[in-house]
Amino acid sequence: MSAPKAALDAIVEVLRKHKKGVSDDVLQKELPQMTPQDRAKAINDLLGSKRLQLFHVGTGSKRTMHYKEITAEEAAKYKGLGPEETLLYQQIKSVGNTVDAGGRGRLLLGGKGWRGVRGSSPSDHTPLPHPRILDITQPCKAAHPQKYTENQFDAAFIDALRDACMQFIQRKGNTTLREIGEFIASKKFAKVDLRDEDIHSIIQTLVYDGRVDTVADEFDEEDHFTPIMHPVPPATAFTSIPCGVCPVFSECRDDGVVSPATCEYFDKWLEF
Amino acid sequence: MALSETHGLKSQWACRLACQLIKSHHGEITEAVCRQLVTRGLQTLPDIIRGCDLTGSQVKQALLLLIQHNYASVYTQKDDENARNAKPPVALYEPNVDVIVQILRRPRILLHLREEQGVRAEQVGELMLEHGRITYEQLASAMAGRMECSEQEARHAARDVLMALINFRCVERAPPCNLPPPNVPTHPNATKKRAKSSAGSAEAAAEEAAALKSLEELKYSHLRFKAQPSRARMGTEGKQLGKKMHPAKSLLSSWTQMRQQRVKGSSLRQAMDVLWRLNYEELNRRFRHACCVRLARSNYDEDTATVMEAMLAAGRSCETKLKEERGANLSVNQVQANVRRIAGAKRRAQEDKEDESEHGADGLKDEEQEEQEQPEEVEELCSKVSSIIGRLCADPFEPMSYANEGPQGSTFCVNMSRIIDQLKLKELEAVARDRYGTGGLRIFRLLFIHDQLEQKQVADMSMLPPKETRELLYRMLQGGFVFLQDIPKTADRAASRTFYTWHVEWEPVSDHFSTNLYRAAGNVWARLQHELAKNKELLDLVEEAQIVGQLTFNITHEQKLKLGALQRTARVLEASLIDMDEMIALFNSY
C-alpha cells in the first residue's frame, strides 16, 4: 500500500528547502506530525519512483544517511535501472569516476550498454575497460574531448599515432611498415608494445583519408607507403556555393517553401 | 551517353537550366518552345504548335531563332521512295540541350580562342556566339564595324582568321536541314530478346541500312571543314587548247564549258552562302586535353605537362569522338618533334605579346627557324622525353601506356579516360569531405577500395565510433554517395536474417552528382535572376541613362550603395557559374 499523497508532498517540500540533502533526523524535526512508519513508506515510494536520492555523509561512526530530491533531468538518467544499479551509479558519481576493480565487474554486468555508463580503455591499454559516467566533468576530458567513445578505443591516442605516422611517412618519402613500427616503438607513444597489425590499421586509415599511397616494391614483398601522389583538391566549385553543402538541397524548388530566391544560406553567403 | 541522357532524372535539371538560360537570353516565347522541345524531344512542327499554346507564326519565329543559335537541330525524315505508300518528307526538330547549357561556357571559349589564335579570333568567336550561324560576308561586314578599319582590310582579316579557325576545326559548316534524324538506340531491356537475324534476311538488311551513313550525312562530313568546294573538276578550261576538234565535238565542248562555268559560278555562290558556326565538339576536346595537362602539371612537373600537351596535340586530329578513351599512338621521336613545335609556338606567342608590331609578316619563316634553332632548355626537355614517358607508363595510375611497335620503334598513348576518371574521383572525394567531413571522405574511399562491407566492418576499418559511422553512412546514402544492399539468408527476407552491406558504385554516384551540378547551377542562375529582378527599377534607371548617353546622372547615395552591392552580388554569382560550368563539363561533356 502506497503512502498518502500529502505525506509525499510534505517530504518533497522539505527536501526542496534543503537543496544539499537532509538526514532522517532533520526530516523528523521538520515533520513532527508524521509517524516514522508513514515517513518510511513515503521515502520508499519516492525512492521507487526515482524522485529521491540516497547518499552517505561523513565517515566511520559519523556516517549518516541523507536524502536529496532528484530533478526531472536526473530522473531520466536513472530510467531503467534497478535499485542496485542506481546505487552503483551514485557511487561512481560520488567518487568521481575512480571506482575500484571490485565494483567494476558488477557494474559492467549490469550497466554496460546503458547510455549513461560507457566502457573505455585508458591509455595504459589494460584489457578491462573502466566504467565511466558521461556527464561528469573531468580535467582529462577537456584536454582530450574524444578520449572516451563507444568504440572502446582511445580516439585521441589513435589521432596522435596517426599524426606521428603521417609525419614519418612525409619525412621518409617511401617507407615500410617495419620502419614505421620501429619509429613508433622508439618514440614510446604507448606503454605496451603495439602489434604490426595495429600500426597497419592506423596507416590504412591514412590511406582511406587520401593522405598516403600504398605501393608495391619490386625488390621486396613488403608494402611501401608514400605520401599521396594525387591529393584531394582543397576546394571544389560545387561546395564553394551554398547548394553544395545545403542540408535541404533535395527539397529546393523554384516555387517551393525552400527556393533559391528565398534561401537563407544564399542571403548569408551574399552578405558582404 | 545517349542512354544515360535519355533517362529522366539526369536530363530533368539540365533541361531546367537550359530553359532558364533561354528565357533570360531570348524571352518567354522562345522559352515556351524550348520547354516543349526539351520535354518531348524530337517532334514535328504541328506537334510543337499543339504543345505550347502559341500561334503558328510565333512558334516558327521561335524555332528559327533556336536553329539560328544552334540550340535546336532540324532533320528530314523521308520514306523510301520505292515504298508503296511513301509519305512526303517531314521536318523534325530536336533540342540541343548541351549547346544551350554551354552558354555558361562562353567566357572560357573566348579566352581559349584569344590565347590560342589571338585577339582577332576572339572577335570572330564573339560574333559567332552572338549570331549563332554566320556567312563569310556577314562576318566580314561585322568585323569591319568592330575593327574600325577599311572594309577591305576587315575582309582580309576575317578571311584569314576564319580559315585558321576552320583549319584548327574550331569552326565548322552548319549542318544542312536534309540530314536524316539520328538513330536513337533503344535500351536493351526495352526490346524483346530474339534470335540474331540470319545473314541475307530482310531484318539483317534493315540493320545494315541503319548502320550505314546516309548520302546526306556523308556529304556533310566530307564538307564539314572545307572552306570552298573542290575545284578539281571545275578547272578544265584550256585543257584542250590547240587541239583541232570535230565541229560536233566543238559544239559539245562549248556547251560543256558553258555548263561548267555555270556550275562553277553557282558553287562559288554556294561557298559564299555557307553558314559557319563554332564547333563545340572540338572546343570541348581542347578543354578536355587542357584538363589532362593540368593534372600532369599539378601531380608531376612542368616538363611532364609539356610532353603530355605535345602528345595530345599531335593526336587531336585523329580523334573521331569527344570522349575518346586513348590518344594517338606516338613514338618517342614523334613526341620530341611535337615538343619542339609546341615550345616554338609558345615562344612565338610570348614574343608576339611583347612586340605586337613584329607579329604577322614573317610568321611562317619564324616557324621554320624555330624548328631548326631551339633553345637549350627545349633540347634538354627533348632528351628527357623518353624517361618521362617511361615514368608515366610505370606509374600505377597509368596516365600513359605502351601501345605497340611501330615503324619508328615503340609507340605510346595517353590514357585520357583514365585521367578524366581520376579527376572526377578526386572532385567527388573533395565534395564528400566538404559535405560529410574527414569521416565521410574516409568511409567513401574505404568503400570505394573494398566494395561490399557491413556497417560494423566500416566502423572498425575506418576507426570511427559506430554511432558516427552509422549516421554518416545514412547521410551519405541520402546524398547518393554510397549504396546499401540487403542480402537475405532466408527466402522470407526477414531483417534479422539479412546481411546489409554498404558499397560505392562509380557510375551511379557520378551520374547523381552530375545531376546535382545542373541543379545547383540552375539554383545559382535563379538567384542571380531574382537579385536582378529585385533591383529592376534601379537597373532600368541606369540603362535609360546609358541609352540617352548621359555619363553622369543623378542617383541618391542609397541607390549608389545598392548598385554597388548588386554589382558585387552579380559578380560573385557569375563567377560561381563559370566555376560550376567547369565541373559540369568534367562530369558531363568530357
Dihedral sign for Cα atoms in the order B186, B192, B197, B201:
negative
Would you state the pLDDT for residue A109? 34
pLDDT of residue B258: 58
Same domain membership, residue A249 and residue A212? no
Out of A60, A79, A98, a domain closes at A79
Residues B479, B493 within the same domain: yes
* A165 belongs to a structural domain: yes
Looking at residue B3, its pLDDT comes to: 40
DSSP string, B391-430: HHHHSTT-SEEEEEEETTEEEEEEBHHHHHHHHHHHHHHH
Tell me: do B564 and B467 sit in the same domain. Answer: no
Q: Which residue in A209, A235, A254 is closest to B441 by CB distance? A: A209
* B447 and B556 share one domain: no
- Is residue A1 domain-resident? yes
Residue numbers in B near A234 (CB within 8 A):
430
Per the domain annotation, does A115 fall within a domain?
Answer: no
Q: Inter-axis angle of helices B151-167 and B106-117, to 10 degrees?
A: 100
Within a domain: A109: no
Closest by Cβ to A230, choosing from B299, B569, B573: B299
The parent domain of residue B464 ranges over 419-504
- Is B92 inside any structural domain? yes
B378 to each of A269, B244, B297, B312, how far by Cα in Å?
A: 47, 63, 17, 18
Q: Quick check: is B556 in a domain?
A: yes
Nearest CA in chain A to B464: A151
Under an 8 A CB cutoff, do A151 and B466 touch? yes
Q: Return residues 458-497 of B near A (CB < 8 Å).
A: 459, 461-467, 478
Residue pairs spanning A and B at CB distance below 8 A? 122
Q: Chain A closest CA to B572's CA: distance in Å?
A: 8
- Number of residues written out for chain A: 272
Residues B437 and B406 in one domain: no
Number of structural domains found in chain A: 3
Of A230, A260, A261, the CB nearest to B397: A230
Q: What is the model's pLDDT at position B158?
A: 86
- Classify residue B549 by its DSSP letter: T
A236 to B445: CB separation less than 8 angstroms, yes or no: no
Given the cut 0.90, state whether the ipTM is greater than it: no
Supply the pLDDT for residue B496: 86
Say if the Cβ atoms of A249 and B516 lie within 8 Å. yes
Q: Does B429 touch chain A (CB under 8 A)?
A: yes
Cβ within 8 Å, pair B583-A237? yes
Cα–Cα distance measured from residue B509 to residue B505, given in angstroms and rounded to the nearest whole number: 6
Statement to judge: residues B146 and B43 lie in one domain? no
The verdict on B583 touching A (C-beta cutoff 8 Å) is yes
Give the residue from B380, B396, B414 where a domain finishes: B414
* Each residue's pLDDT expressed in tens, for chain B with a length of 590 residues: 334 444 444 578 999 999 999 999 999 999 999 999 999 888 999 999 999 888 999 999 999 999 999 999 999 888 777 777 778 889 999 999 999 999 999 999 999 999 888 888 998 999 999 999 998 888 888 888 887 777 788 888 888 888 889 988 899 999 988 888 887 666 777 766 666 666 666 666 666 666 666 777 788 888 888 876 544 343 333 343 344 445 445 445 555 665 565 555 555 555 667 899 999 999 999 999 999 999 999 888 888 999 999 999 988 888 888 888 888 888 888 898 888 888 877 777 777 666 655 544 444 444 445 455 567 777 888 888 889 999 899 888 888 989 888 777 889 999 999 999 999 999 999 999 999 999 999 999 999 999 889 999 999 898 888 899 999 999 999 999 999 999 888 888 888 888 999 999 999 999 999 999 999 999 999 999 999 998 888 888 887 777 776 656 677 888 888 888 898 999 999 999 999 999 999 999 88
CB contact (8 A) between residue B568 and residue A240: no
Cβ neighbours for A202, distance < 8 A, ≥ 6 positions apart: A158, A161, A162, A165, B463
Nearest CA in chain A to B439: A209
Asked if B438's CB is within 8 angstroms of A239's CB, the reply is: no
Q: Are residues B407 and B477 in the same domain?
A: no
Q: Is residue A112 assigned to a domain?
A: no
Closest Cβ opposite residue B442 in set A158, A209, A241: A209
Contact criterion met (CB below 8 Å) for B399 and B293 = no
Residue A182, domain CATH: 1.10.10.10
- What's the gap in Å between the CA of B12 and the closest CA on chain A? 13
Whether B325 and B440 map to the same domain: the answer is no
Contacts of B399 (CB under 8 A, 6+ apart): B292, B295, B296, B308, B392, B414, B415, B418, B419, B422
Helix (H) or strand (E) holding B487: strand B483-488
Q: Look up the domain containing A166 and give its range.
A: 155-227
Contacts of B95 (CB under 8 A, 6+ apart): B18, B34, B37, B38, B41, B66, B71, B72
Return all residues near B398 (Cβ < 8 A) that are at least 6 apart: B392, B415, B418
User: Same domain for A159 and A220?
Assistant: yes
Residue B427 with chain A: CB contacts under 8 Å: 233, 236, 238
Does residue B192 form part of some domain? no
A158: nearest CA partner in chain B: B463
| Bridge-based pairing state of the strands A22-23 and A117-120 | unpaired
| Sequential pLDDT tens for chain A (272 residues) | 566 788 888 888 888 888 788 888 888 888 888 888 888 888 888 887 777 887 777 777 777 888 888 876 676 666 666 666 666 666 666 655 444 433 333 333 333 333 334 433 333 433 333 444 443 333 333 333 333 444 455 777 888 888 889 999 998 888 888 888 888 888 777 777 778 888 888 899 999 999 998 887 777 777 889 999 888 999 999 999 999 999 899 899 988 899 999 999 999 999 87
Kindly state whether B435 is in contact with chain A, defined as any CB-CB distance less than 8 angstroms: yes
Task: State whether A218 and A241 are in the same domain.
Answer: no
Task: Please give the pLDDT value at position B115.
Answer: 87
* Closest in B433, B568, B582 to A232, CB measured: B433
Interface mutation target, options A158, A208, A229, chain B, most CBs of B under 10 Å: A208
CATH code, domain with B481: 1.10.10.10
Residue in B282, B342, B283, B288 with CA at minimum distance from that of residue B310: B342
Q: Are residues B331 and B448 in the same domain?
A: no
DSSP B585: I
> A79, A98, A120: which is the final residue of a domain?
A79
A50 and A12 in a single domain? The answer is: yes
Please say whether the beta carbons of B436 and A209 come within 8 A: no
Q: Do A210 and B429 touch (CB under 8 A)?
A: yes
Q: Is residue A69 part of a domain?
A: yes
Q: Are residues B467 and B544 in the same domain?
A: no
Q: Which 3-state string (H, E, C) describes chain A? A: CCCCHHHHHHHHHHHHHCCCCEEHHHHHHHCCCCCHHHHHHHHHHHHHCCCEEEEEECCHHHCEEEEEECCHHHHHHHCCCCHHHHHHHHHHHHCCCCCCHHHHHHHHHHHCCCCCEEEECCCCCCCCCEEEECCCCCHHHHHCCCCCCCCCCCHHHHHHHHHHHHHHHHHHCCEEHHHHHHHHHHHCCCCCCCCHHHHHHHHHHHHHCCCEEEEECCCCCCEEEEECCCCCCCCCHHHHCHHHHCCCHHHCCCCCCCCCCCCHHHHHHCCC
Chain A residue numbers touching B568 (CB-CB < 8 A): 272
CA B446 – CA B453 distance, rounded (Å): 9
Query: How many Å apart are CA A243 and CA A248, to the nearest integer?
Result: 9
pLDDT confidence of residue A144: 34
Secondary structure of B193-226 in HEC code, one letter for each residue = CCCCCCCCCHHHHHHHHHHCCCHHHHHHHHHCCC
**Cβ contact B576–A263 (<8 Å):** no
User: At B31, phi and psi to the nearest 5?
Assistant: -65, -40
Contact B441 A240 (CB under 8 A): no
B568 touches chain A (CB under 8 A): yes
Set of cell numbers at residue B287: 578543354
CB A160 within 8 A of CB A184: no
Specify if A178 maps to a domain: yes
Residues B406 and B445 occupy one common structural domain: no
| Residue B223 domain-assigned (yes or no) | no
How many domains is chain B partitioned into structurally?
5
Phi, psi (rounded to 5 degrees) for B9: -60, -40
